[in-house]
Amino acid sequence: MTERLARLRAALKDAGLHACIVPSSDPHLSEYLPEYWQGREWFSGFTGSAGTLVVTPDAAGVWTDSRYWEQAERQLAGTGVDLFRQPGEHGDPLAWLAGHAPAGARVGVDAQVLSLSAARRLRDTLEDAGLVVVDDADPLARAWPERPGLPAAPVYEHDAAYACQPRSEKLAAVREAMRKAGAGWHLVSSLDDIAWLFNLRGADVDYNPVFLAHALLGQDAARLYVAPGKVPPALAAALAQDGVTLEPYEAIVDALASLPGDDTLLVDPARVTAGLLAAAGAAIVEQLNPSQLLKSVKSEAQAAHVRRAMEEDGAALCEFFSWFEAAQRAGLPVTEITIDEQLIVARARRPAYVCPSFPTIAAYNANGAMPHYRAEPAHHAAVEGNGLLLIDSGGQYLNGTTDITRVVPVGTVSAEQKRDYTRVLKGMIALSRARFPRGLPASALDALARAPIWEGGAEYGHGTGHGVGYFLNVHEGPQGISFRAQPGPHTGMQPGMITSNEPGLYRPGRWGIRIENLVLAVPAETTEFGEFLRFETLTLCPIDTRCIAAGLLRPDEIAWLDAYHAEVRDRLSPYLSGEALAWLRERTLPLDDAPVGEA
């Protein structure tokens, strides 16, 4: 890393730059990045999915949040890159640069990987401090000769039986939103929006079945900008029948430049980069991508497919947990990495499975206190002795995307661990049972899950819920259940939205607990006060009763848990046999009959 930093500093000097900013981002503002844009990881050694690297002639630092502090501290040791905790005394990287760089210093950043909104904030902050922003700089290109090429995986069609809605209808719906916004054109760069809009999928980004592309949509034209050769001829012909023209990936710049100055271009400032938009010749209209709202609301047909995917996923998890407990009883060596491997093996046996939906978090005891921990060959724990094992995992299926967290006991579990576990369970049950007005900002639901945890004098730093795609990104907007999220009309809960329900409690250096199901917003009732929604729990997997402090649960909470376990048993039993079926039956016994702890 010190050699790589030296190369980068030499490139900065040659370009006349005092500093550079390297965000965790690409031209599509993706959560998971192709290797070509993983510059922050390459030059720092920090592998977390969120963080910003700043390099100056005499300092280098990575700014990241509490989910990654322990991981970053370990990975940055000895690299010459310091860890800056957010929030903290050093603020954010822009504030740090504003306070440490000399007046007039030139700061390089690649606007091609900065959202329009982020670029505005960066320019305002640094220029107010007397710094010069050079946003067409890419010093990484000169300092990274080993830089990988762009991914070249083929694009394929999401089978109509699973997609449920033809792309012609989706295009028509987006065009109607464009008309309402007074826009003649619409630029789409976010890969999940493009995949949804055209009923296409790919494998250019780990864990997300998407492909690198831009789209430019007019009232009478639809252009898909994708690398030549990625779309097979038969699929290209099918797209042409729906009025979709294929263009080279790089041609989007000239296409934007050629738009008439008296025309209007609809863009989402959080999902289009400032560098790309600089080429646009048309007037700009800013609002949320229409496809964000459209794809967040799953149809009845899609919901039916997701329920089937949840049954397959639940069956795979039963087989995994049956294997895990048998291995524990036999005294076989099991590590956090073994768990990741065995989960993939179990899911791969299920029909319609494609790949994991995110990197598995298998975290034992103290590692579980890091919400986004990931076991590595050089740093992982053996699962042995006494404690709690947290497993957060998910799968991409042709008929749905799954995301589930369970915590299971290993050996003897302490009374304090059981109390923490039960507080988290109470929060998850409270949100599962919620009824709320249609259109309520998702952030307003957050306190329901946190209240039982607050009551115990604890708190957790992450959000309680995120939207989930339909064989798309496991993290999807626009809704998010977090009091830190900015509420707005686009965050209102609507029937058909799939959201995670995952409160947690983390004791650094000791253990972490998170219990997660995916839930579907469905109609509950209509009264004189309007339409109300409730949550249907989609995830099907037993919640381990051996970690429960039974005295902390109210009768109505016990009734919910027993009813959930009865449904899990009834729906998963037909998929299982032998030891896995026996495991399911034992783990779904009513609470009064199940092995539990005491408060």
Block residue for tokens 């250019």: 204
Q: The tokens of 232 are what?
A: 């097979």
- Strand ordering across the sheet containing 530-537: 435-437, 530-537, 517-527, 498-501, 465-467, 476-481
Q: What is the pLDDT of residue 423?
A: 98
Block residue for tokens 């039960």: 422
Q: What is the largest CA-CA distance in the chain?
A: 74
Average pLDDT of span 297-323: 98
| Mean per-residue pLDDT of the chain | 95
- What residue ranges in 310-430 does DSSP mark as E strands? 353-356, 361-364, 387-393, 395-397, 400-401, 404-410
Block residue for tokens 């429960």: 548
Q: The tokens of 267 are what?
A: 């863009």
| pLDDT one-digit tens code per residue, 98-124 | 999 999 999 999 999 999 999 999 999
481 close to 445: Cβ distance less than 8 angstroms = yes
Q: What is the pLDDT of residue 372?
A: 86
Average pLDDT of span 322-329: 97
Average pLDDT of span 434-453: 97
Q: What is the pLDDT of residue 194?
A: 98
Q: What is the pLDDT of residue 118?
A: 93
Q: Under 8 Å CB-to-CB from 114, ≥6 apart: which residues?
A: 23, 25, 122, 135, 273, 274, 275
Q: What is the pLDDT of residue 598?
A: 46
Residue closest to 244 by CA, chosen among 201, 199, 178: 199
Average pLDDT of span 459-474: 96
The dihedral region occupied by 182, where left means phi > 0, alpha psi between -120 and 50, and beta the remainder, is left
pLDDT at 290 > cutoff 50: yes
How is residue 334 annotated by DSSP? Answer: -
Cα–Cα separations (whole angstroms), residue 535 to 203, 417, 524: 32, 28, 9
- Check residues 68 and 494 and name the one with the higher pLDDT: 494
Average pLDDT of span 26-36: 94
Percent with pLDDT over 90 in the chain: 90
Q: What is the pLDDT of residue 596?
A: 65
pLDDT at 70 > cutoff 90: no
Using DSSP's 3-state secondary structure scheme, residue 283 falls into strand
- The CATH code for residues 2-143 is 3.40.350.10
How far, in Å, CA of 378 to CA of 389, rounded? 19
How far, in Å, CA of 192 to CA of 469, rounded? 8
| pLDDT one-digit tens code per residue, 172-188 | 999 999 999 999 999 99
89 pLDDT band, cuts 50/70/90, is: low
- What is this structure's pTM? 0.95
- Check residues 596 and 497 and name the one with the higher pLDDT: 497
Torsion angles phi and psi, residue 88, rounded to 5: -170, -170
Q: What is the pLDDT of residue 49?
A: 85
Q: Under 8 Å CB-to-CB from 273, ≥6 apart: which residues?
A: 27, 29, 111, 112, 113, 114, 115, 116, 119, 189
| pLDDT one-digit tens code per residue, 557-598 | 999 999 999 999 999 999 999 999 999 999 999 999 876 654
388 close to 505: Cβ distance less than 8 angstroms = no
**Window from 18-27, 57-66, 447-456, 481-490 with minimum mean pLDDT:** 481-490
pLDDT at 91 > cutoff 90: no
Residue closest to 438 by CA, chosen among 495, 500, 518: 495
22 close to 43: Cβ distance less than 8 angstroms = yes
Can the peptide bond before residue 478 be classed as cis, meaning omega within 30 degrees of 0? yes
Q: What is the pLDDT of residue 138?
A: 80
CATH architecture group of domain 156-296: 3-Layer(aba) Sandwich (3.40)
431 close to 535: Cβ distance less than 8 angstroms = yes
Torsion angles phi and psi, residue 59, rounded to 5: -155, 155
Torsion angles phi and psi, residue 162, rounded to 5: -95, -35
Q: The tokens of 489 are what?
A: 């009309």
Q: Evaluate the CA torsion angle 500, 167, 173, 271 in order and state its sign.
A: positive
Q: What is the pLDDT of residue 66?
A: 80
Domain 2-143 identical in fold to domain 300-587: no
Burial class (CB in 10 A: 0-12, 13-18, 19+), 184: buried
Residue closest to 396 by CA, chosen among 230, 158, 231: 158
Average pLDDT of span 497-525: 97
Q: What is the pLDDT of residue 554?
A: 97
Q: The tokens of 86 are what?
A: 């957010």
CATH architecture group of domain 300-587: Alpha-Beta Complex (3.90)
Q: Evaluate the CA torsion angle 430, 473, 506, 318 in order and state its sign.
A: positive
How far, in Å, CA of 267 to CA of 286, rounded? 5
| pLDDT one-digit tens code per residue, 183-228 | 999 999 999 999 999 999 999 999 999 999 999 999 999 999 999 9
Q: What is the pLDDT of residue 597?
A: 52
468 close to 442: Cβ distance less than 8 angstroms = no
267 close to 187: Cβ distance less than 8 angstroms = yes
542 close to 441: Cβ distance less than 8 angstroms = no
pLDDT at 599 > cutoff 50: no
**Window from 88-97, 444-453, 491-500 with minimum mean pLDDT:** 88-97
Domain ranges in the chain? 2-143, 156-296, 300-587
Q: What is the pLDDT of residue 319?
A: 98
How far, in Å, CA of 96 to CA of 76, rounded? 19
Q: The tokens of 186 are what?
A: 């619409």
Residue closest to 30 by CA, chosen among 254, 248, 273, 196: 273
pLDDT at 171 > cutoff 90: yes
356: Cα within 13 Å, side-chain hemisphere? 16
CA angle 56, 106, 69 (to 5 degrees): 35
How far, in Å, CA of 296 to CA of 493, rounded? 10
